[in-house]
Amino acid sequence: MTKGQSIALDNTIVQGEGNLVSVMDGEKVILSIQNGKYYSLRQTGSKIWDIIESPIPVKGLISALINEYDIEPDECRRQVISFLENLLAEGLVKTGNDTGLLDAHF
């Protein structure tokens, strides 16, 4: 994936392979074996990470978060897509196109 790639609501998203995950001081910490960097996720980021352990359409992820948190749908959509695009740029997640998954299966 190249930096700046966009994610659409119909994309399927899943955690990338080869990351070590631990909880430290109440935050989820990810070590990317691929790039040797650490990433710290707070409460909502950790929730997203847990949800995307299995492939899920982005719109399904957003719906789950809207049901759990008091947030406007447009704001949730904007923040989640931005967050996922950052994860994608760092190689921490894959989209349906990367994994060969067909969005129609979900």
- Residues 35-88 pLDDT 10s: 999 999 999 999 999 999 999 999 999 999 999 999 999 999 999 999 999 999
> For the chain, which domains are there?
12-98 (3.90.930.60)
Q: Is the pLDDT of residue 7 over 60?
A: yes
Q: Is the pLDDT of residue 106 over 90?
A: no
How does DSSP assign 10-62, residue by residue? Answer: T-EEEEPSSEEEEEETTEEEEEETTT--EEEE-HHHHHHHHHTTS-EEHHHHH
